[in-house]
Amino acid sequence: MIWGCFSVFGAGNLVKIKGNMDSQLHFDILNKDFLGSLEWYCVDRSEVIFQRDNDPKHTARITKKWLDDQGISVLD
């Protein structure tokens, strides 16, 4: 499995995942690779609208709190 992100600026980091991703691994990827991608493109976090599906690891409390703490909006 691969985790990745993209924006109007281009593709972000790709992460190869061995096995299953849980909410902690998803949190770690967001914290390192998602933020790293934003920094690479010099994107202000307050201008990001994050899109995700409703997979439980994407909507876990740890993820919701992290997105809120980072000032990142989520698309309804």
- DSSP structure class, residue 33: I
pLDDT band for position 76 (cuts 50, 70, 90): confident
Apex 33 CA angle, 1 and 38, nearest 5: 130
Give me the domain span that covers residue 66.
2-74
Identify the H or E element spanning 24. Answer: helix 23-29
pLDDT band for position 25 (cuts 50, 70, 90): very high
pLDDT at residue 11, rounded to an integer: 96
The domain tally of the chain equals: 1
Identify the H or E element spanning 12. Answer: strand 10-16
pLDDT in tens, 40-69: 999 999 999 999 988 999 999 999 999 999
